[in-house]
């Protein structure tokens, strides 16, 4: 497949991305550790969020109908809704269908966006808007998930020792602070234990659920979808409210697709079908049987499933499981931010690699501290997992609807599926997820507006950065000087002094003379003996193939073009990539080499109203953009920056 490059597509930013990641190589079929090890790894990383949903999902789903007492029909109906939601959304949509839509082994909403964009073959603001919406909703969910997961687990302390119930909030805050503060040290050491711990967690849920299920086998009638449909018909608006809580059971399903590049399709599918799905179903059925036997256990059915002597063990295991779930979401936010930077949707941010062997393990300080601030705000504002549940779900349902919509577009334009077949497959999912989304909208007055505001904020930032970058590139293209003509005209110039060494000029347009070169010539009146016009391109694939990584083209004896290509899931390291360029004919001595960067100073234009607000925001975001020499891993003592003023 021919790779589409950023320069061919308006959505791209001026410069980005880099060095391949070892975790990516695993996703492309490396089986050196065996399918079993990859499956265990997937259990630890992919399923943390959905695996902690039993802590609160059934409890919140039954509460709206429990005020006048619970009937067997009501419990069977809610259990049926839970089971069939897991079956349709997770098993059928993500595991069976969307995992097939991989971008060279990579998944997630931005990978699906790039697939759809390439399938259409032209600029599409609708597809761009869907990509921005999906990424924004994912980031909004990344703020609330650690809060509700850890808080719901620590609340079990109140059952173990009621006198210590007042310490639930301080313990939760302490765990979250510790979790976010250790991010800069990397998680390689503890992540190796994630899989085995989560295997124990899911097995524990399966066993406890089965023990209660055998006391009331009639709950198995919940597998009959008639109970779900009948419940919805008989309970009217109350059933609509219940659906908003039922959706809590499938939060985290998007991680199946987003983490495709880390483990591959087979391990993710095997883990779901052989362990995760059966364990979740058994756990929900067991909770249903417990609540039918003793309605008072609805207060916290998950922890009340075990005898008192086992409760401390279960609380400890649940706390560790929720920390793992929170870690998976945080890591996902880092990956989403890096992909957003590479696709030109976010300004450059400092990216720190926390592993020498796996460049997929990254840490983005600005994202980390923003997430921590948001998570602590949620915990201290809502103060309980039940209150947080009212704010949970809206961002996730929105993200799933985006996945479905982009999946429809790609099925039609990429896979060339007939419209009638797409309709048969897509209508049930659109109807189900649309209903979930509308039911979650009823939570807006109770706190659901917060994740919507977060998603709107992220979307505004992404749109503003993309729009501003396009305006700047358009302005620069009008003022550009042709590179080939310039090289020819200055070849025999006697007024320009040439000095030894090589100069690299970073630019987004290799056909134009870089502004830094013109400024250097204007003010210093010198040119280096060798001048390399360096362009960094982001390809609309996760990882650039080695054969396409470097393109070196001489112009004449003094000028040449060097194009370095990276996938949108890679992180830039030009110092390392230049070593590969030597094999393509580029010759330079590091000790006599300089890197010239153009530093833009953005000036407000004359636009008014909404456009002026976006222009001002773009300029503000530009001030927080990471130092390009750090972002591209250039040797600091070899970098020269020359500024220019551009009116937005």
549 and 630 in a single domain? The answer is yes
Judged by average pLDDT, the poorest of 171-185, 296-310, 359-373 is 359-373
- Residue 60 within any structural domain of the chain: yes
443 and 524 in a single domain? The answer is no
SS3 641: strand
SS3 252: coil
- Spatial contact of 339 and 17, defined as CB atoms under 8 Å apart: no
Residue 125 has pLDDT above 50, yes or no: yes
What average pLDDT does this structure show over 166-176? 90
How would you classify the pairing of strands 352-353 and 362-363?
antiparallel
- Residue 468 within any structural domain of the chain: no
- Spatial contact of 7 and 511, defined as CB atoms under 8 Å apart: no
436 and 533 in a single domain? The answer is no
Secondary element (H or E) of residue 595: strand 593-603
440 and 499 in a single domain? The answer is no
Residue 208 has pLDDT above 50, yes or no: yes
265 and 192 in a single domain? The answer is yes
- Number of helical (H) and strand (E) elements in the chain, helices listed first: 27, 8
Residue 393 has pLDDT above 80, yes or no: no
- Spatial contact of 401 and 431, defined as CB atoms under 8 Å apart: no
Can you spell out the DSSP letters for 421-476?
Answer: HHHHHHHHHHHHHHHHHHHHHTTGGGTTHHHHHHHHHHHHHHHHHHHHHHHHHHHH
Secondary element (H or E) of residue 116: helix 109-120
- Residue 31 within any structural domain of the chain: yes
- Residue 605 within any structural domain of the chain: yes
What average pLDDT does this structure show over 597-615? 78
Tens digit of each residue's pLDDT (9 = 90 or more) over 338-350: 888 888 899 988 8
- Residue 15 within any structural domain of the chain: no
Tens digit of each residue's pLDDT (9 = 90 or more) over 2-21: 333 333 333 333 323 323 33
pLDDT at site 61: 92
- Residue 294 within any structural domain of the chain: yes
β-partners of residue 643 are 599
pTM comes to 0.81
Residue 186 has pLDDT above 50, yes or no: yes
**CATH number, residue 187:** 1.20.1740.10
pLDDT at site 356: 57
Structure tokens at 594: 């300089």
Task: Examine the fold and report which residue of 450, 468, 489 is the final residue of a domain before the chain moves on.
Answer: 450
Neighbours of 123 (CB within 10 A): 12
- Residue 13 within any structural domain of the chain: no
Tens digit of each residue's pLDDT (9 = 90 or more) over 457-504: 999 999 999 998 888 888 877 778 888 888 888 877 767 888 899 999
372 and 422 in a single domain? The answer is yes
List the domain range (segments joined by +) for residue 114.
24-303+311-450
Burial of 473 (0-12, 13-18, 19+ CB in 10 A): middle
pLDDT at site 575: 82
Query: CA–CA separation, 320 vs 70, rounded Å?
Result: 32
Query: CA–CA separation, 620 vs 510, rounded Å?
Result: 28
136 and 274 in a single domain? The answer is yes
Confidence of residue 283 (pLDDT cuts 50, 70, 90): very high
Q: End-to-end CA distance of the chain: give it in Å, rounded.
A: 37
pLDDT at site 16: 32
- Interior angle at CA 142, CA 141 and CA 146, nearest 5: 105
Over the chain, what is the mean pLDDT?
Answer: 84
Confidence of residue 177 (pLDDT cuts 50, 70, 90): very high
Query: CA–CA separation, 621 vs 629, rounded Å?
Result: 18
429 and 578 in a single domain? The answer is no
Query: CA–CA separation, 179 vs 534, rounded Å?
Result: 40
Give the residue among 26, 543, 570, 84 at the shortest CA–CA distance from 267.
26
Please give the share of the chain, as a percent, with pLDDT higher than 70.
Answer: 92
SS3 414: coil
565 and 606 in a single domain? The answer is yes
Structure tokens at 360: 């997929």
Confidence of residue 191 (pLDDT cuts 50, 70, 90): low
Structure tokens at 16: 């980005």
When divided into structural domains, the chain yields a total of 2
Which carries the bigger pLDDT value, residue 522 or residue 228?
228
333 and 432 in a single domain? The answer is yes
Query: CA–CA separation, 575 vs 634, rounded Å?
Result: 6
Structure tokens at 262: 């880390």
219 and 73 in a single domain? The answer is yes
Query: CA–CA separation, 396 vs 90, rounded Å?
Result: 13
- Residue 461 within any structural domain of the chain: no
What average pLDDT does this structure show over 152-179? 85
Tens digit of each residue's pLDDT (9 = 90 or more) over 66-118: 888 889 999 999 999 999 999 999 999 999 999 988 887 778 888 899 999 98
Tens digit of each residue's pLDDT (9 = 90 or more) over 559-599: 999 999 988 778 778 888 888 888 888 888 888 899 998 77
Query: CA–CA separation, 72 vs 566, rounded Å?
Result: 57
- Spatial contact of 341 and 16, defined as CB atoms under 8 Å apart: yes
Tens digit of each residue's pLDDT (9 = 90 or more) over 297-339: 998 999 999 998 899 999 999 989 988 888 888 888 888 888 8
Tens digit of each residue's pLDDT (9 = 90 or more) over 406-441: 999 999 998 999 999 999 989 999 998 899 888 888
Q: Pinpoint the alpha helices (H) of 491-588.
A: 515-524, 546-549, 574-581
Query: CA–CA separation, 446 vs 196, rounded Å?
Result: 38
């Amino acid at each position: 497949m021919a790779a589409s490059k950023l320069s061919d597509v308006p959505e791209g930013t001026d410069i980005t991305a880099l060095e391949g990641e070892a975790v990516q190589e695993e996703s492309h079929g490396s089986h050196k550790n065996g399918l079993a090890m990859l499956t265990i790894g997937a259990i630890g990383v992919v399923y943390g969020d959905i695996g902690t949903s039993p802590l609160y999902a059934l409890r919140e789903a039954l509460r709206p109908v429990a005020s006048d007492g619970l009937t067997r029909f009501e419990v069977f109906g809610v259990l049926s809704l839970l089971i069939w939601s897991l079956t349709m959304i997770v098993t059928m949509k993500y595991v069976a269908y969307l995992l097939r839509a991989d971008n060279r082994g990579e998944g997630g909403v931005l990978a699906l966006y790039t697939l759809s964009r390439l399938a259409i073959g032209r600029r599409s603001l609708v597809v761009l808007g869907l990509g921005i919406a999906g990424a924004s909703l994912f980031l909004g969910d990344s703020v609330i998930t650690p809060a509700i997961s850890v808080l719901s687990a620590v609340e079990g302390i109140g059952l173990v020792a009621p006198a210590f119930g007042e310490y639930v909030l301080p313990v939760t805050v302490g765990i979250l602070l510790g979790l976010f503060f250790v991010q800069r040290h990397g998680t390689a050491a503890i992540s190796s234990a994630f899989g085995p711990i989560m295997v124990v967690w899911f097995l524990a849920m399966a066993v406890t659920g089965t023990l209660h299920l055998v006391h009331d086998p009639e709950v198995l009638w919940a597998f009959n979808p008639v109970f779900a449909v009948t419940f919805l018909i008989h309970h009217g608006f109350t059933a609509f409210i219940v659906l908003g809580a039922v959706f809590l059971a499938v939060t985290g399903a998007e991680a199946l697709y987003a983490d495709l590049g880390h483990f591959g399709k087979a391990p993710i599918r095997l883990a779901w079908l052989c362990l995760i799905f059966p364990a979740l179903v058994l756990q929900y059925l067991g909770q249903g049987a417990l609540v039918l036997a003793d309605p008072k256990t609805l207060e916290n059915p998950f922890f009340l499933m075990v005898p008192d002597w086992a409760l401390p063990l279960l609380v400890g295991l649940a706390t560790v499981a929720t920390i793992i779930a929170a870690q998976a979401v945080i890591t996902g936010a880092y990956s989403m931010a890096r992909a957003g930077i590479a696709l030109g949707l976010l300004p450059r941010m400092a990216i720190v690699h926390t592993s020498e062997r796996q460049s997929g393990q990254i840490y983005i300080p600005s994202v980390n501290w923003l997430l921590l601030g948001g998570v602590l705000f949620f915990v201290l504002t809502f103060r309980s997992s039940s209150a947080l549940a009212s704010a949970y779900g809206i961002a996730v349902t929105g993200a799933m609807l985006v996945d479905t919509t982009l999946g429809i577009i790609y099925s039609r334009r990429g896979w060339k599926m007939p419209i009638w077949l797409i309709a048969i497959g897509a209508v049930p999912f659109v109807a189900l997820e649309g209903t979930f989304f509308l039911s979650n909208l009823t939570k807006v007055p109770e706190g659901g507006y917060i994740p919507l505001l977060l998603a709107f904020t992220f979307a505004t930032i992404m749109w503003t950065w993309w729009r501003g970058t396009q305006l700047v590139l358009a302005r620069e293209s009008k003022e550009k000087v042709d590179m080939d003509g310039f090289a020819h005209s200055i070849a025999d110039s006697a007024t320009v002094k040439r000095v030894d060494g090589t100069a690299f000029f970073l630019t987004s347009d290799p056909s134009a003379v870089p502004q830094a070169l013109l400024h250097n010539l204007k003010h210093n009146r010198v040119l280096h003996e060798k001048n390399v016009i360096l362009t960094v391109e982001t390809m609309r694939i996760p990882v650039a193939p080695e054969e396409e990584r470097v393109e070196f083209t001489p112009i004449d004896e003094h000028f040449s073009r060097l194009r370095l290509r990276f996938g949108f899931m890679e992180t830039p390291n030009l110092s390392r990539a230049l070593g590969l360029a030597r094999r393509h004919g580029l010759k330079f001595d590091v000790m006599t080499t300089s890197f010239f960067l153009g530093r833009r100073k953005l000036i407000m234009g004359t636009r008014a109203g909404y456009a002026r607000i976006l222009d001002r925001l773009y300029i503000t975001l530009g001030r927080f953009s990471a130092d390009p020499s750090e972002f591209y891993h250039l040797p600091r003592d070899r970098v020269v920056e020359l500024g220019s003023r551009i009116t937005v």
